Amino acid sequence: MIYNIHHLHCGTMCPVCGPLFGQNSLTAHVVCHCLLLETDQGLVLVDTGLGVQDYLHTKERLGSWVARTGRIVNNLELSAIAQIQRLGFQPKDVKHILLSHLDFDHAGGISDFPHATVHLLSTEYNAAQNLKSLKSKARYKPQQFQQHRYWNFLEPVQGESWHNLHRVQGFQLFQDEILLIPLPGHTLGHCGIAVRKQDGWLFYCGDAYYSHLELNSKHPLKALNQLERFFAADNQQRIANLERIKVLSQTEPRIEIICAHDPIELARYASK
């Protein structure tokens, strides 16, 4: 059973060129939007943002290229572990971590919760072991998670349908109130996480899109589309899944859709 959903701001990056992120500014404002769920099985983190060690040793942990171009705001108070403690919990209360994917700005906090079980598509974990390309080396930082002991790998070849999305993995542990939904494209094992609410669902789409403007076809975002194409492991799959998410946003009012990096979406929850 899910008792409460907290929206956490687990990192800020300020890369140059706002239009690349769908923003009309010279410098972009890119957040790491994560979720903390209070459940009868303990606390559950949905993505982890940047972790303590990412803030303390940015260049050593993430590399000089990420440190230079990402322009990460160095603020330990934005780490998930600091926010969980401010909410009155202990780090050991986090029993489960559900990851959309293993990019450095989503997986950095894994090492702050060594006793939590990390749930992830096996395709994504396998992709993070292959660091032959420059793109893989830039996005995956194995030092963030390679020492972690507790994993639950889910196979994306089986599952049920959820609206217009398929191969969905339910969790009996959470009475199918949390779903892992394959959304490959940005990475080969990228997925979204759907969380049941009293009045519908909250659908966290990770990096399946970067800006809420993408859910409305009236907004041409050529620069952002090129950036997403550049980062994509499979751009055709990325586009196909984005179209499915657009359909959901237009036809299913009981599904609340959010992504990982849009500050406008995060701000909706600031006063809640």
Query: What are the boundaries of each domain within the chain?
Result: 2-267
The residue assigned the tokens 């589309």 is 225
Identify the burial level of 196 via C-beta atoms within 10 angstroms of its C-beta, where 0-12 means exposed, 13-18 middle and 19 or more buried: middle
Q: Are 164 and 82 contacting, i.e. CB atoms less than 8 angstroms apart?
A: no
Ramachandran area for residue 84 (φ above 0: left; ψ -120 to 50: alpha; else beta): alpha
Q: What does the pLDDT read at residue 219? A: 73
d(CA 3, CA 21): 34
Displacement of CA 46 from its chain's centroid (Å): 7
Assigned CATH class of 2-267: alpha beta
Q: Are 43 and 89 contacting, i.e. CB atoms less than 8 angstroms apart?
A: yes
What pTM does this model have?
0.96
d(CA 96, CA 99): 10
Count of residues in the chain: 272
Q: Are 144 and 104 contacting, i.e. CB atoms less than 8 angstroms apart?
A: yes
Q: What does the pLDDT read at residue 218? A: 76
Handedness of CA 105, 110, 112, 116 (dihedral sign): positive
pLDDT (tens, 9 = 90+) of the chain, 272 residues, equals 999 999 999 999 999 989 889 898 989 999 999 999 999 999 999 999 999 999 999 999 999 999 889 999 999 999 999 999 999 999 999 999 999 999 999 999 999 999 999 999 999 999 999 999 999 999 999 999 999 999 999 988 888 999 999 999 999 999 999 999 999 999 999 999 999 999 999 999 999 999 999 998 777 789 999 999 999 999 999 999 999 999 999 999 999 999 999 999 999 997 55
